[in-house]
Structure 1
């Protein structure tokens, strides 16, 4: 299937490793001009050395001023923006009762407010040029309990924003969608760390919790991402698709 992504200008947050890196790699393979934003300088240098043509921007996306600065730098490097992928995120804390409110605020800033802010900035640019696509990477735990509460809450907000923003901007030719990954295994992720620490426990988790009988891969998320951002997905608006091998227990 031809996705017609050649020379599309793509910006990905949290794109130096893991799922974000995989999405960047997939867009580059499709011929897109791709830039990633991440906090770690070493990881950015490594990504740039591995992915030919990748543009890198170092910034802390939980900081509003750095978001604006990094977005303007992306516009300079790419000459504009056609596709935004909000992938930056992370979890912190433990239970509701044992997690300080400030930790919840931090989770919202990193996972939700960063995505909202970059989307606002991108929409302003996209409206001037006839449209574009925004993709928000959330989690199946934005729809159901299972992850850390601070993370769940932020990803739930992201899923809600995906639908409401999509309805606002589709008339301007901007499509907004999302992906809710399940448990994805990659070398820099938490699941790999847990698997190394206690393989018996994690293998039992996979057997009991993932109907497909294995972890998902970064490539499976990335393949979905490039499709949703392409013109082949032109009638998909405001959807957040589970990419989880059946792991989610929700029926919507």
Structure 2
């Protein structure tokens, strides 16, 4: 399927590793002009070597509002405009609700949610001028049900709600907003790899018990969904958050 993404200008946050890097790679292979951002310069340089020299890299801490604005200005200076924004940056912290200080919830929201809200606002303002564009937000299946760390889950639940609200607000202007909710995805820099290394038998049992598909998902499987949602082939999809989880989620909505 030709997704008609040649020369589309794409920004992927958290694009130096794991799912974000796979998303950047997928767009790059479709002929898009791709920029990735992350905090660590060395990781960005490594990702550029692995994906392709045509990738643009931007070092930025997107939990900082000023740095987000600077990131976007740098992207526009490099590319001239923006067609697609993928809000992928994220991470988890804390433990149980009662053992996690409220400051950790603030940090989780800053990284996983507020950064995406602000970048979406900035990008959408540019997209509305050209009457076209797509935003894809990476949330989690645990944004819809309990599991994992409450700080992370709360932020991803907010992301799913925000995605629908912004989609309804912008679809009339030619800008589509959707999301992807990954389940357990295995990649070298992720938490599942660490758990697998620490206790292979426990993780094997988890997969057998919790993932009907019988294995972990791959970053590429998430990336393929993102690329489709950002393309013209998904022109009548707006406000959806699509599970990519091999049936892991127990939610039926």
Q: Same fold (TM over 0.5)?
A: yes
State the TM-score, normalizing by the size of structure 1. Answer: 0.99
Does structure 2 retain, via aligned residues, the 8 Å contact 1:34–1:78?
no
2:161 alignment counterpart: 160
The answer on 1:49 being equivalent to 2:46 is: no
2:9 alignment counterpart: 9
Counterpart-to-counterpart distance in 2, 1:219 and 1:68: 29
Counterpart-to-counterpart distance in 2, 1:65 and 1:92: 23
Kindly tell me the number of residue pairs found equivalent between the two proteins.
252
Counterpart-to-counterpart distance in 2, 1:221 and 1:176: 16
Residues 86-165 of structure 1 aligned to structure 2 (within 5 Å): 86-165=87-166
Counterpart-to-counterpart distance in 2, 1:223 and 1:202: 25
Residues 154-193 of structure 1 aligned to structure 2 (within 5 Å): 154-193=155-194
Q: CA deviation at 1:248?
A: 0.2
User: 1:186-207: per-residue Cα shift (whole Å, max 9, x none)?
Assistant: 0110000110110000000000
- Please give the secondary structure, in 2, of the residue aligned with 1:98: coil
The answer on 1:18 being equivalent to 2:11 is: no
User: 1:113-144: per-residue Cα shift (whole Å, max 9, x none)?
Assistant: 00000000001100111110000000000000
Q: Which runs of 5+ in 1 are unaligned?
A: none
User: 1:184-230: per-residue Cα shift (whole Å, max 9, x none)?
Assistant: 00011000011011000000000000000000001100000100000
User: 1:12-32: per-residue Cα shift (whole Å, max 9, x none)?
Assistant: 000000000000000000000
- Please give the secondary structure, in 2, of the residue aligned with 1:75: helix
State the TM-score, normalizing by the size of structure 2. Answer: 0.99
2:38 alignment counterpart: 38
Moved more, 240-249 or 74-83: 74-83
Q: Which runs of 5+ in 2 are unaligned?
A: none
Counterpart-to-counterpart distance in 2, 1:210 and 1:40: 33
- Please give the secondary structure, in 1, of the residue aligned with 2:36: strand
Counterpart-to-counterpart distance in 1, 2:21 and 2:191: 16
Counterpart-to-counterpart distance in 2, 1:46 and 1:225: 22
- Please give the secondary structure, in 2, of the residue aligned with 1:16: coil
Moved more, 21-30 or 51-60: 51-60
- Please give the secondary structure, in 2, of the residue aligned with 1:185: coil
1:198 alignment counterpart: 199
Q: CA deviation at 1:105?
A: 0.2
- Please give the secondary structure, in 1, of the residue aligned with 2:247: coil
- Please give the secondary structure, in 1, of the residue aligned with 2:225: helix
